Amino acid sequence: MAISLGLKDRGDVRIHENVDELATDLADYIAELSEISVKERGFFAVALSGGSLISLMGKLCETPYNKTVDWSKWYIFWADERVVAKNHADSNYKLAKDGLLSKVPVVPGHVYSINDSLSAEEAANEYGFVLRQLVKTRTVDVSEISDCPKFDLILLGMGSDGHVASLFPNHMALEENDEWVTFITDSPKPPPERITFTLPVINSASNVAVVVKGANKAEAVHLAIDDLGPECPVSPARMVCPKNGKLVWFLDRAAASELEAYECTK
Ligand X SMILES: O=C(O)[C@H](O)[C@@H](O)[C@H](O)[C@H](O)COP(=O)(O)O
What does the binding site for ligand X look like in residue numbers (CB under 6 A)?
49-53, 80, 82, 92, 157-159, 163-165, 189
Q: Which is nearer to ligand X, 50 or 149 (CB)?
A: 50
Q: Which is nearer to ligand X, 43 or 197 (CB)?
A: 197
Q: Which is nearer to ligand X, 114 or 164 (CB)?
A: 164
CA-based torsion, 118, 126, 182, 93: positive or negative: negative
Which are the contacts of 143, defined by CB distance < 8 A and separation ≥ 6?
Answer: 149, 150, 204, 243, 244
Q: Which is nearer to ligand X, 90 or 122 (CB)?
A: 90
Cα separation, 188 vs 197, in Å, equals: 17
The DSSP secondary-structure symbol of 67 reads H
Q: Which is nearer to ligand X, 24 or 52 (CB)?
A: 52
Q: How far is the CB of 219 from ligand X (least distance, A)?
A: 14
State how far the alpha carbon of 51 is from the alpha carbons of 26, 61, 80, 86, in Å.
15, 18, 11, 16
State how far the alpha carbon of 152 is from the alpha carbons of 102, 243, 247, in Å.
22, 14, 12
Q: How far is the CB of 80 from ligand X (least distance, A)?
A: 5
The vertex-37 CA angle with 36 and 42, nearest 5°, equals: 120
Q: Give alpha helix (H) positions in the chain.
A: 19-41, 53-56, 65-68, 92-99, 120-136, 199-202, 218-225, 260-263
Cα separation, 130 vs 203, in Å, equals: 19
Q: How far is the CB of 214 from ligand X (least distance, A)?
A: 7
Q: Which is nearer to ligand X, 200 or 236 (CB)?
A: 236
CA-based torsion, 145, 151, 152, 154: positive or negative: negative
Q: Which is nearer to ligand X, 52 or 146 (CB)?
A: 52
Pair 261, 249: CB distance under 8 Å: no
* Nearest residue to ligand X on Cβ basis: 51
Residue 250: strand pairing partners: 14, 211
